[in-house]
Structure 1
């Protein structure tokens, strides 16, 4: 490979074992010293990443935990469950600090707004809802989806909500007015997860067909399309620089996509079974993956080390990324510590 497209490969640093069933969600604390994981075993585990690898188990949900997140300050965690509730926790031995029934069916996703004052939820009851963090007071509903809502996320500036549903649409909503601004339709698969680009101009949508789509919310154009997995993409995470996307798939693989080059640069394997959750740390120096095998892997990112100039471009988003279609098969493999890293 030439220098332009060669990257230091990510390396697996830690494996965390403690859940009794498949893991559904991961989220780093803002200070990167802890990571929370949610599982089908009805619990949230909070792992200390500072050397001890000790974990605290938070129990209270009656059914599977579908999503977990930290507040921007790191003071609280929130978890969403099949038991139709959202629970708030203090991320210490203190534990539970509150619970509210958020929906009439499974709560699939939960997120704090960037100022920490609001909580966004999405559910199988087809509705997206906004709540106040303080006293968990209901603020508004976003109604229009005609099937389960898999994921809903607020843009960094707090003005727009994006949601994806089994009704094969991804919708943009005005947070304040509650109106649907735009609907992106997919003829084949449905969105399983989505993430905002740090610029606030793009939304990445993972699909049940093994694809990742990047939409420009200003023009509503599909600006990038990656057909990269052999089964559903369960989650996507965007690097804080805005230059890379990390995917986790039901096919047991993860991919790292270079958004400015417009193609995948790595395939990572190591998990047995579906990769259900992926997450970057706040700085982007680390990322985590987890899935059906009940294990959390912590990885050192590394591949950003040669991409500083590129990251500045991505930060400004002054160039529209080139679209990517069918990607050629992997060329070379690097094996190590229970994982395989493949260069594209």
Structure 2
């Protein structure tokens, strides 16, 4: 397998100011011309990335906005709030197009399905729910968690939902029949954020203990494990190539992990205080970060990409990944095809 020839460090291109409280999430419009951010200031800001950097403010939620997401077409945004509702917006001066009460407690995450016809939500009421995006009709509940559900994300083919909870489990759900396919149990800490690898074969979980865990969703094996943060991992994002993970943490740092080589390549310190949001643009050329300092940072990626001959562009379960960056860490490789066990 080919490896990267060199790495160029990301550069900070812009800092955007507008929110009046901590920023909780950031999401690019698929057209890459806009960036949406949500905040504890009860608002969503939509940033024009084409030069002016001006922002539109979307107001309507009565309490903090915890998550924001674009539809695959880029024609709509959805925001999730502590006020127990999800709001739909047109990303222009038109603004709000609808609101519905999604849960009985705080809505922690919201996401459109890959075809844009459904919306998935997760809440402190311990439930993951599925809705139609057109008329906001309730479709199904996914019940099984015994504590707050921090995040729920749909696989790229729209067939599986992954959710993580304060009950120290991560669950995979069958979207069609609502059944729990598998439960991953965390011995320490709990998952705060989930991301699907572009291949659809792996999920990454960022935990309250500062760890990043990658699981194979076909074999349910732990295939990579990183201990790189000193505090909770708040957000994780895969680069579109599938070669890298970008992480954010309450420790005020961001990390870039090379999944093919199995180690950390960069530590970024662009914020004062906790970093609560990171996300790559659809092309991967840029990424955004935001946090408690109320700033949105836009970075140029500068990564050297790799070329692959197969559709499934990586085999994570054949890699050796250290538990930490310590040079004294000893890694014992197990049978090929299984995850690496750190002793």
TM-score (norm 2): 0.92
| 1:316 match: secondary structure | coil
CA offset digits 1:68-102 (Å, max 9, x no partner): 00000000000000000000000000000000000
Kindly report which structure 2 residues correspond to 1:54-69, keeping only aligned pairs within 5 A, or say none.
Answer: 54-69=54-69
- How far is 1:314 from its partner? 8.1
Structure 2 residue 67 is the aligned partner of structure 1 residue 70 = no
- How far is 1:53 from its partner? 0.6
Q: Distance in 1 between matches of 2:252 and 2:101?
A: 33
Q: Distance in 2 between matches of 1:4 and 1:280?
A: 19
Structure 2 residue 94 is the aligned partner of structure 1 residue 94 = yes
Kindly report which structure 2 residues correspond to 1:87-126, keeping only aligned pairs within 5 A, or say none.
Answer: 87-126=87-126
- How far is 1:323 from its partner? 2.8
Kindly report which structure 2 residues correspond to 1:181-220, keeping only aligned pairs within 5 A, or say none.
Answer: 181-220=181-220
CA-based RMSD of the aligned residues comes to: 1.4
- How far is 1:322 from its partner? 2.8
User: Any stretches of 5+ residues in structure 1 without a counterpart?
Assistant: 330-344
Residue 335 (structure 2) aligns with: none
Q: Distance in 2 between matches of 1:312 and 1:106?
A: 44
2:242–2:313 Cα contact (<8 Å) kept: no
Structure 2 residue 307 is the aligned partner of structure 1 residue 316 = no
Q: Distance in 1 between matches of 2:18 and 2:139?
A: 37
1:313–1:319 Cα contact (<8 Å) kept: no
Residue 14 (structure 1) aligns with: 14
Runs of 4+ in 1 over 6 A off after TM superposition: none
Residue 239 (structure 2) aligns with: 239
Residue 336 (structure 2) aligns with: none
Q: Distance in 2 between matches of 1:179 and 1:17?
A: 44
| 1:308 match: secondary structure | coil
1:260–1:322 Cα contact (<8 Å) kept: no
- How far is 1:318 from its partner? 4.5
Q: Distance in 2 between matches of 1:199 and 1:47?
A: 29
Kindly report which structure 2 residues correspond to 1:283-322, keeping only aligned pairs within 5 A, or say none.
Answer: 283-303=283-303, 305=304, 307-309=305-307, 315-318=312-315, 320=317, 321-322=319-320
Structure 1 residues 229 and 136 mapped into 2: Cα distance closer, same or farther (>3 Å)? same
- How far is 1:4 from its partner? 5.3
Residues matched between the structures, number: 324
Structure 1 residues 125 and 308 mapped into 2: Cα distance closer, same or farther (>3 Å)? same
